[in-house]
Structure 1
Amino acid sequence: MFNLNLKRLGIAAGLSLTLVAAGCGSSEEDSSNASGGEGEANYGEQLDYTITGIEAGAGVVAAAQDAVKEYDSLAGWEVSTSSSGAMATALGDAIENEEPIVVTGWSPHWKFEKYDLKYLKDPKGVFGEAEKIKTMVRKGLKEDKPNAYKILDQFKWSSEDIQSVMLDINEGTAPEEAAKAWIEKNQDKVSSWTKGTEKVDGKSVELVYVNWDTEIASTNVVAEVLKQQGFDVTITPLNNGPMWEAVAEGEVTGMVAAWLPGTHGDLYAEYKDSLVDLGANLKGAKIGLVVPSYMDVESIEDLQPKE
């Protein structure tokens, strides 16, 4: 069991988030003057020039902070950090009231199944290209727990797979139960992960993950597969830095939650020589600024700077 003191255990849960939005509309003249384009809403003013972010230190938050520096249209904006859960709540509240909101977003994520959303175009490429979610394990795992190593190495799935698990969890199913249900329906795929392995008798495995919806889904699925193969599995949520550090220092077995090359790029550069990179378990992931589709804006450059 991975023992953590309070300083290192940075679980970002339950943090409060203040969503600032205008409660009244503006006239067509005001909107035209504020945005520089006739008929366009001044979303910056309505949102108090605030992007709703997730955990401080997350790659998508760092990229959003870089975007604020790079884009003239975001001059005077700020990125408000909170938690992924608080961001999702704020997004849902805004959509329910048909209000504007700009959030730091990533996919795969259940929000794209539940809501009609769009990424803002990023002509400067601040958020990078499509990402991969990779599996990282501690050094020495292949030698002392080859069956666990092989399962983690062979774990591969798609955005459709993970989003189905995420939706079940979002709709109230416990993560462990959602994982079991998906595994039962996808035995062919699970068999490809366990191919060439033998069942064990209670060997311990600890997986760490950042408390994002994607990683809650993937880590619970992998944990359940390992349990069904006879492993005694513990999963521990951490913030991004401690998660990487725990694997690199050999204090835990591994993680299936490494977003690269952008989101966790700095952490990978710091720790890559101290852990084992097993490659992508999911391809085509993406990060960026996300808005409801009803907002009349298509690009980051369409937003308005603070005057």
Structure 2
Amino acid sequence: MKKTKLWLMFSLVAVLMLSACNSGTNSDQGNNGGTGEGESSASVGSQVNHQIIGIDPGAGIMKATATAIEEYGLSDWTLVEGSGAAMTATLDKAIKNEEPIIITGWTPHWMFAKYDLKYLEDPKLVYGEAEEIHTVVRLGLQEDQPEAYQFLSNFKWTSDEMGEIMTAIQEGQDPEEAARAWAEANSDRVDEWTEGVNPVDGTEFKFSYVAWDSEIASTNLLKVIMEDRLGFKVTALQVEAGPMWTGVANADVDATVAAWLPLTHADYWNQFQDQVEDLGANMEGVKTGLVVPAYMDITSIEDLAN
């Protein structure tokens, strides 16, 4: 009987000791396993093949993202070059399948109205504070074409207003027709921009712009207003960022309303600021950065570092 009691006591002590050891092991796994920050960030990287889906290589946001990769120690990550259209197509496919994806994003953009997205926090401010979209014109425009100069000086609008045109275009409407429909539905805003501007008779005017959804919307809007309301004959040239700035600087183009400052087009501003005139921001509070679907459990660029 005594031997039986001793054996039972010994067995109980052994079980308690084993449980204590397992508890410690499980605790360690909890600190370093799937719920830990290191494993969580590694999981995000592996799920997206350590890729950030970008746009055309000449865009300022691509340069900023390359800097972010360096600043945040993302040496095993790749920035995939492409185009705005390719990026949004990849985003659409990922969201339909509820898959993780990381893209270079900016607002205003129609994708923020269509999808539930969020910016990753940027504690190092690689992408800077909020940006502005500026109107930049060739030197001498005020003397040569005072009506156009005055109209462009008056033009300022909001991201919500731009978003209405971008959404219409994204849904399949022709850009110029979408812009014309918006102008007709918002004649009071057009009246503000054209106040004090005398119509002309077929004076030629030339814009340049980059093939971003935001700039397609703004440039087509100004084109239809200048033609329908003010009598200009307008040409709008879709080019890369470099030729857009070069065209204005060389006076081959009269203006662009697609200059993102102070960060995205900083290199071009530094190169051409003495050869152009900045009429100021036509839109404030725009933003660039890394963007993910809201369903992804990640909040900061720092979370991408293994």
TM-score (norm 2): 0.87
Query: What is aligned with 1:258?
Result: 259
Matched, 1:182 2:182: yes
The share of aligned pairs that are identical, in percent, is 50
Amino acid across the alignment from 2:263: G
Query: What is aligned with 1:65?
Result: 66
Separation of aligned partners in 1, 2:35 and 2:249: 50
Query: How far 1:147 sits from its partner (Å)?
Result: 0.6
Query: How far 1:38 sits from its partner (Å)?
Result: 6.6
Amino acid across the alignment from 1:67: A
Q: Secondary structure at the match of 1:118?
A: strand
Once the two structures are superposed, the pairs formed by residues 34-113 of structure 1 within 5 Å of their partners are: 36=37, 42-72=43-73, 74-113=74-113
C-alpha deviations, 1:100-125, integer Å up to 9, x for none?
11000000110000000000000011
Unmatched tracts of structure 2, length 5 or more: 1-28
Matched, 1:267 2:268: yes
Q: 1:35 to 1:64 in 2, by over 3 A?
A: farther
Query: What is aligned with 1:5?
Result: none
Cα contact 1:32–1:41 (8 A) shared by 2:
no
Kindly indicate which of the two structures has a greater share of residues assigned to helix.
2
Query: How far 1:78 sits from its partner (Å)?
Result: 1.4
Separation of aligned partners in 1, 2:101 and 2:155: 36
Query: How far 1:45 sits from its partner (Å)?
Result: 1.1
Separation of aligned partners in 1, 2:58 and 2:131: 18
Once the two structures are superposed, the pairs formed by residues 122-141 of structure 1 within 5 Å of their partners are: 122-141=122-141
Cα contact 2:41–2:305 (8 A) shared by 1:
no
The aligned length equals 276
Separation of aligned partners in 1, 2:259 and 2:33: 44
Q: Secondary structure at the match of 1:273?
A: coil
TM-score (norm 1): 0.87
Query: How far 1:32 sits from its partner (Å)?
Result: 3.5
Query: How far 1:43 sits from its partner (Å)?
Result: 1.6
Amino acid across the alignment from 2:140: G
Q: 1:214 to 1:123 in 2, by over 3 A?
A: same
Once the two structures are superposed, the pairs formed by residues 139-158 of structure 1 within 5 Å of their partners are: 139-158=139-158
Cα contact 1:117–1:291 (8 A) shared by 2:
yes
C-alpha deviations, 1:34-88, integer Å up to 9, x for none?
974576771211222110001102111111000000002x231111110011111
Query: What is aligned with 1:287?
Result: 288
Unmatched tracts of structure 1, length 5 or more: 1-27
The runs of at least 4 consecutive aligned structure 1 residues that moved more than 2 Å come to: 31-41
Cα contact 2:41–2:304 (8 A) shared by 1:
no
Separation of aligned partners in 2, 1:38 and 1:45: 10
Query: What is aligned with 2:302?
Result: 301
Amino acid across the alignment from 1:246: G
Query: What is aligned with 1:218?
Result: 218
Query: What is aligned with 2:21?
Result: none
